[in-house]
Structure 1
Amino acid sequence: MIILALETSCDETSIAILENKKVLSNITISQILEQQKYGGVMPSLATKLHLKNIQKVLSNALSEAKISPEKIDYIAYTEKPGLIICLQIGKIVAETLSLYLNKPIIPCNHLEGHIYAKFPGLALIISGGHTQIYQLDNHLEFILLGETFDDAIGECLDKSAILLGYNYPGVGRIVSKENKNLNANNLACSLQYTMAEILTKKLKNAWLNSQAKTIIIGGGVIANKFLRDYLTNKIKKWDKKIKIFIPEVKYSTDNAAMIGILAYYKIKLLSSIQY
C-alpha cells in the first residue's frame, strides 16, 4: 500500500510518501525565515508560500521515494485543526490528485498525526497551538484528558522570545540579552523550567490514573532539547518499565510523514483491508 500524505496546517509545506508504515520520503519546506519579521505566522503569507512551494515539495517527494504517481494507492491530507486558508491548500491539492489518479482520499486530524508519530500509549502534545494530554486505549480512540485554557506552551515560548528581543520562533532559543532591570538569561531559564515542571506534574497525574505502560510526547515544542531531556528523566523515575517514545526532531515538527502513518491505520482499521 502506497500512501501520499500532505501537511499544510500552518507554516510548513510537507509531503511524504509511505509504503505501509515505512517512510520512503518526507520533504518539508519551512517558512520560519519569511515569517520572522512578523513575530509569528501570518496566514495570508503562509498561504502564498504554500502555493509557491507545493509543486517543488511534491516533485521532490516522488523523486526521493522513487515512486511514480500511478503507483499511489491513497491520498491523505491534514483536514484540521490549523489555519483555515492553509488547510485549504492541502485539501485542494489532495482532491486534485485524488481525481487525477482516481484514488481514495483520507482526511486526517493534525493532532492525531502527532500522536501517530509513535503509538500507542498516554500522549502529551505540546505544539505551537495546542497543549493536550490524551489517553489511547486502542487505535483511533482518543480520549482528551486535559488541555490549556489559553496559550499553548509553544505560543508562550514564542511570545516570550519576542518580549525579550528575539525573533520568532522562541522554541529552543538561548536568550542572552540583558539590560539594567532584567536578567533575560535567568528569566528565560526560569520560564522554561517552570513550563517543564507544570507539564511533568500534569502528565504524572494522568499517568497515575491510567497506569499507562507507554508514554508518547509529540508536537513541535518537543524539539526543545531541555524539555526532551527534562521530561524523559522525570518519567524514568516514576517507573523504569515505562516505555517513552519521542519522535526524532524532523518528525516532531509539522510533517506529512505523521499524517501518512495516521492514514495507514485509518485505512487498515476502518476499511477491514488486511496488509
Structure 2
Amino acid sequence: MLILGIETSCDDTACSIIEASSKKISVLSSVVSSQIKLHAKWGGVVPNLAAREHLKNIVPVVLTALKNAKINPSQIDLMSVTQGPGLIPALLIGTNFSKALAYLWKKPLLGIHHIEGHIYANFIGIGSQLATHNTQRKKIRFPVLCLVVSGGHTQLVLMKKHLDYKIIGETLDDAAGEAFDKVARILRLGYPGGPAIAEAAKHKSQEINFKQIQNPKSKLTKKFGIHNSEFIIHLPRPMIHKKNFDFSFSGLKTAVLYEIHPVKSAKGSPDMREFNRAGKHPNKLTDKNYITAVATEFQQAVIDVLVSKTLKAAEKFQPKTIMLAGGVSANQELRRQLGEAIKKKFHPVKSTNGSSAVQKFNRVKTTNYHLPPTTYCIDNATMIASAAYFRWQKMNAKQKKSALINWKKIEASANLNLSK
C-alpha cells in the first residue's frame, strides 16, 4: 500500500511517500525543508516563526514528494500526519493541511505520535514481519527495549509487541537533546547543539591528549593536556548510580555553566545576566582548545548516563532487541559506545559490520542491537508513514472505515501521550 506522511512538529516541514507491505517498507520519496538557518540566529526554535515557514513550505514540499515518487493523489491508500507532541503553532499547520487533503482526496487519515514515528524509523527499509531470515538487519524481535533520545524526550520504552509501549524510565527535567542545545549556547557553538557539540568533540583525538586520573572524590575525572596548557574538567553523571531508569540533565547543564563561568550571584548560582551581557564573555570562551575539552566531556557525560541506564534496563527486562530512536540517535559516539558496551556486557558470539547495525549476544541468545538509518534519525515524514502502516495493520474493518472521516476528528496536541 502507498502511504503519505506529513511532519511539522518543530522546525522541519516534511512529506514522504512509502510503499509498505509485510515484506518491506520502501521509501519512494522523502522531502524535508529545514529551518535551521532561520532559527540559528535566535539560538533555538521560535514557534510562531516556525509556523509561518511551515505555511509557506508545506504545499511545495508535498508537491515535490508526489513528483519524486512519480505518483498522483488517486494512488495513495492512506495519509498520516504528526498529531503531537510538539510546538502547537507548527503542529496546527501540518494537521489542518492533512485534514484538508484527506477531505479533498477522500482518503483515510491517521494521526501519529511523534515519538512513535521515531521508534518506527527502525523499520524503514526492512520487512514488517518480526521473524525473517534474509538479513540480520531484519531481525527486530520482541520484546524490544528502545532508548529514545531527542530534543524533547529522553525515555526508555519497553515494547512487548507492536504499538505496545511501557515507559520504564524518562527524564525528570531536561531531555538530552535539550541539554545539548543549551550547552552549545553556553559554549557559543551555535544551533542546533547536538551536531555542534559532536563536531567539536570529534577532534579530541587530534587536538587533545587525555588520560584517566585517579581522584579521591571521583574516578570519572579526566585530565586534559592541550599543547602548553592543561585543564582538569569533571562533569557529573546525573543519576547514573540510581537503581531506577530515569534521567536528569538539567544539573549537567548547570555544571557546565559553573565550569565556564565561576562568577556567582548573591544566591550562589552563576549570574546568567552577567554571562550574557555583551562584551562580558568569560576569557575561557576564547580558547578553542578549552571549548573542545568541555564539549568532549559534556558529550561523554551524557553518553555514560544513557548507556548505563540502557544496560541496567536490559539486564532487568531481557529484551530480544535493543534499539535507538530520536534525533540524538544520530550521534556517532552514542551509537558506537552503546554498541561496544552491550557487546562487552553480554559477551557477543557474533557481530556484523556497521552497515547492518546488528550485534548478537549469547546471554540472551536472540538479542539484537539495532540502529535506525542516520537519515531518518532527525525529524522526517518517512518515520510517520512507517508508524502509520503498523497502526493500519492493527485496525479492524470498522476502524479503517472510520478513518475516512478522521479529517473531522484529528486535533493537534502539544502534549500527546504515547499510548497503545
With the shorter chain as reference, the TM-score category is over 0.9
Deviations 1:21-74 (A, max 9, x none): 222111111111100001011001110111111111101110111110111111
**Structure 1 counterpart of 2:98:** 94
Q: Kindly indicate whether the alpha-carbon contact (under 8 Å) linking 1:4 and 1:15 is maintained by their aligned counterparts in 2.
A: yes
Is 1:109–2:234 an aligned residue pair? no
- The letter of the residue matching 2:171 is T
In structure 2, what is the Cα distance between the partners aligned to 1:25 and 1:238?
A: 39
- Report the 3-state secondary structure (helix = DSSP H, G, I; strand = E; otherwise coil) of the residue aligned with 2:200: coil
- The letter of the residue matching 2:192 is P
Q: Kindly indicate whether the alpha-carbon contact (under 8 Å) linking 2:152 and 2:175 is maintained by their aligned counterparts in 1.
A: yes
- Report the 3-state secondary structure (helix = DSSP H, G, I; strand = E; otherwise coil) of the residue aligned with 1:116: helix
What is the deviation of 1:15? 0.5
In structure 1, what is the Cα distance between the partners aligned to 2:116 and 2:342?
A: 22
What is the deviation of 1:93? 1.1
Is 1:127–2:252 an aligned residue pair? no
- Report the 3-state secondary structure (helix = DSSP H, G, I; strand = E; otherwise coil) of the residue aligned with 1:13: strand
Is 1:14–2:14 an aligned residue pair? yes
Q: Kindly indicate whether the alpha-carbon contact (under 8 Å) linking 1:40 and 1:168 is maintained by their aligned counterparts in 2.
A: yes
Is 1:175–2:200 an aligned residue pair? yes
Q: Kindly indicate whether the alpha-carbon contact (under 8 Å) linking 2:122 and 2:373 is maintained by their aligned counterparts in 1.
A: no
- Report the 3-state secondary structure (helix = DSSP H, G, I; strand = E; otherwise coil) of the residue aligned with 2:195: coil
Is 1:162–2:185 an aligned residue pair? yes
Q: Kindly indicate whether the alpha-carbon contact (under 8 Å) linking 1:172 and 1:225 is maintained by their aligned counterparts in 2.
A: no
Q: Within 5 A, what are the aligned runs for 1:1-275?
A: 1-20=1-20, 21-118=25-122, 120=140, 121-173=144-196, 174-175=199-200, 180-181=283-284, 183-239=290-346, 240=348, 241=360, 242-271=367-396
CA RMSD between the two structures:
1.8
In structure 2, what is the Cα distance between the partners aligned to 1:231 and 1:46?
A: 34
Structure 2: which 5+ residue stretches go unaligned?
Answer: 124-139, 202-259, 261-281, 349-359, 361-366, 401-420
Deviations 1:193-231 (A, max 9, x none): 010000011111111111112111011112222222111
In structure 1, what is the Cα distance between the partners aligned to 2:185 and 2:200?
A: 11
Runs of 4+ displaced beyond 3 Å: 178-182
Deviations 1:169-203 (A, max 9, x none): 11132338x97546221111110001000001111
**Distance change (3 Å), C-alpha of 1:181 and 1:35:** closer
In structure 2, what is the Cα distance between the partners aligned to 1:225 and 1:171?
A: 11
In structure 1, what is the Cα distance between the partners aligned to 2:343 and 2:86?
A: 33
- Report the 3-state secondary structure (helix = DSSP H, G, I; strand = E; otherwise coil) of the residue aligned with 2:121: coil
Choose 1 or 2 for highest CA Rg. Answer: 2
What is the deviation of 1:247? 1.3
What is the deviation of 1:17? 0.5
Q: How many residues align?
A: 273
